[in-house]
Structure 1
Amino acid sequence: MSEAGRGWRIVEDDLSGGAIRALLEVHFAGMLANSPAESCHFLDFDGLRAGDVTFWSIHKDDDLAGCGALKMLDARHGEIKSMRTAEAFLRQGVAARMLAHIVDVAHERGLDRLSLETGSGPAFEPALALYARHGFEECEPFADYRPDPFSRFMTRAL
């Protein structure tokens, strides 16, 4: 998705920059602050660099606005990971832009389904609402996930 004319750009990111590493540290801390550690399923830096994961950062002009990733579960099923908006860009459509980009890439790769796991509770309500607005529906745990009162699972056919 390119919105360069409006100052937005999404790039595949190698996680080497200080700004993206700092944003991900905030992401990791936020997950741990709102769910028990055993219920947190975020990918660490090594996990985000794995061969089955594509990681992107989104920028407004020269500023880092957020990030997101797509993990390939198999040839037809992908998982959305590491969606995070930088605090200065909250409620400016960053997550919706990143989600649309991930959905577009999933279509290009020929995936039939996208799924995600996120937390439960008030801190996660904005994310759950975003996913629901974009056609994701609640589902049972998928892949290696197990039922957990601190997790919510969503999926969308493509």
Structure 2
Amino acid sequence: MRIEIDDLSRPQVHALLQEHLTNMYELSPPEHVFALDVNKLKAPEITFWSVWEEGNLIGCGALKELSVSQGEIKSMRTPAASRNRGAGRAVLEHIIAVAKQRGYTRLNLETGTHAAFEPAHNLYRSKGFTLSGPFGSYRPDPHSVFMELRLGGSEG
């Protein structure tokens, strides 16, 4: 399994992100979907990684810098055909390690409440994430679960 910074130019990555967006709109009302499209993921404050195995794209994830001390996980996805192979856990661990290297004291995420999100909730909890309130520009939302991981250091 190889995790690499991705420039979002490959068709396989576009297809996976489209699968992600389509699924998010299937599971949540449109006004409650906060997943980013390819163009928004190219923002300078976002680092995007793809996960490859034997030439196949098996996952992705991104880290958005919210401030010098906080980041947000975005676009965590494994293709339906590649689930349960460890790509999600691997990219999550990679993102956590990068957040620590950057000196972040907190890592945040927003995900859905539909039962289909429960495997993601379990993965995040297994890495130490706990429920939190909205962060950044998010507002309380019955279709959102907000989680955080405290990374140490002083809050800023």
Structure 1: distance between partners of 2:80 and 2:13: 13
Q: Residue in 1 aligned with 2:82?
A: 89
- 2:48 matched to which residue of 1? 55
1:28 to 21, 24, 32: 21
| 2:132 maps to 1:142 | no
Q: Render the CA deviation track for 1:46-73: whole Å, top value 9, x for unaligned.
A: 2100000000000112110010000000
Aligned match of 2:154: none
Structure 1, unmatched stretches of 5+, are 1-7
Report the Cα distance in structure 2 between the residues aligned to 1:15 and 1:87, rounded to whole angstroms.
Answer: 20
- Give TM-score scaled by structure 2 length: 0.95
Q: Distance in 1 between matches of 2:65 and 2:102?
A: 10
Query: How many residues in Structure 1 have an aligned counterpart in Structure 2?
Result: 151
Normalising to structure 1: TM-score of the pair?
A: 0.94
1:9 maps to which residue?
2
1:5 maps to: none
Q: What per-residue deviation string (whole Å, max 9, x for no partner) do you get for residues 121-158 of structure 1?
A: 21110100100011000000000001111000000101
CA distance in 1, matches of 2:21, 2:133: 24
Matches of 1:117 and 1:153, distance apart in 2: 5
Question: Is 1:73 aligned to residue 66 of structure 2?
Answer: yes
- How far apart are residue 88 of structure 1 and its match? 2.2
* Percent identity for Structure 1 against Structure 2: 48
SS, match of residue 66 in structure 2: strand
Q: 1:87: Cα distance to partner?
A: 1.8
Q: Any unmatched runs of 5+ in structure 2?
A: 152-156
CA-to-partner distance for each residue in 1:1-23, whole Å, 9 max, x for gaps? xxxxxxx1001111111100000
Which whole-Å deviations, capped at 9, do the CAs of 1:16-38 have from their partners, x for residues lacking one?
11100000000000000000011
Is 1:122 the counterpart of 2:119? The answer is no
List, as ranges, runs of 4+ consecutive aligned residues in structure 1 with deviation greater than 2 Å: none
In 1: Cα distance, 2:32 partner to 2:103 partner: 31
